[in-house]
Amino acid sequence: MRNLQTLVISMLRSPDRRQRAAEELAKTNIEWQFLDAVDGKLLTHPIPEYLPEKVKKLLGFELMPGEIGAFLSHKKAWQTCVDQNKPTLIFEDDFILFSQFEKTIDYLLNDFQDWNLVRLQALEDSSYKVIHHGRDMVIAENEIDALGCTAYLVKPDAAQKLINGAHYIYEPIDHYIEHKGVHGLSFLAVRPYPSDISQSPTTVYRPDRASIRGWRKAKRSINRWLDRAFSKHPWFPK
């Protein structure tokens, strides 16, 4: 797979996760490299891309340092994709690969290339619309945001569009990457997924975060409506 760049986003302070990622990729013939993640705990405030008061109004809560670091890490990976001008396979360091993984990547690079951004893993199950029938797989559009950014494939033009839409950080990375109204990209999916998330504890977000309900949700909706009505570049366009 010469025309492919593979990046594993991983923090320098996570040697155990790095070791597990290396062991998983050693099962393949894929050439890869670590991309040092932005450690949210080490960020110096204020962060130019992050406006906490506006985020709280339009998202309903502030992002955790790990979420900001994760977003900046993926943005760093997108820039590397653009700079190298190659399709890029991007992993977070808590992935596992299934037996069909390499065949899936080969198919996307050589047999079916009508894609910009392809999901290879998801946190949420979703019904889907089939776009293309392949070898023992389908390329599909999920009907809900399937969430997760543990493994995906992106082309340089799409990576640039993701960068262009991410001047500000105002939602978790796996929500942003599904946010077609902002960057204009359809996040296709390979079904069945050829990879999954491992059971390593998260280093990014707080899993017990309460959902936005009642008056808080209504207030957020009003703030988003005002942003769409009066901003040239609304954060949550319809």
Contacts of residue 8, defined as CB under 8 A and 6 or more positions apart, other chains included, come to 18, 21, 25, 32, 33, 34, 35, 91, 92, 93
Looking at residue 85, the DSSP 8-state letter turns out to be T
- pLDDT tens by residue, 29-49: 999 999 999 999 999 989 999
- Specify whether the CB–CB gap between 238 and 181 falls below 8 A: yes
Of residues 55, 93, 83, 51, the one with CA closest to residue 204: 93
- pLDDT tens by residue, 54-103: 999 999 999 999 999 999 999 999 999 999 999 999 999 999 999 999 99
Cα 109 versus chain centre, distance: 20
- pTM summary value: 0.92
What is the distance between the alpha carbons of residues 27 and 118, in angstroms, rounded to a whole number? 22
Of residues 165, 209, 169, the one with CA closest to residue 54: 169
Of residues 179, 30, 193, 13, the one with CA closest to residue 93: 13
- pLDDT tens by residue, 116-139: 999 999 999 999 999 999 989 999
CA distances from 47 to 32, 55, 68, 162 (A): 30, 13, 9, 19
User: Residue 204 pLDDT > 80, yes or no?
Assistant: no
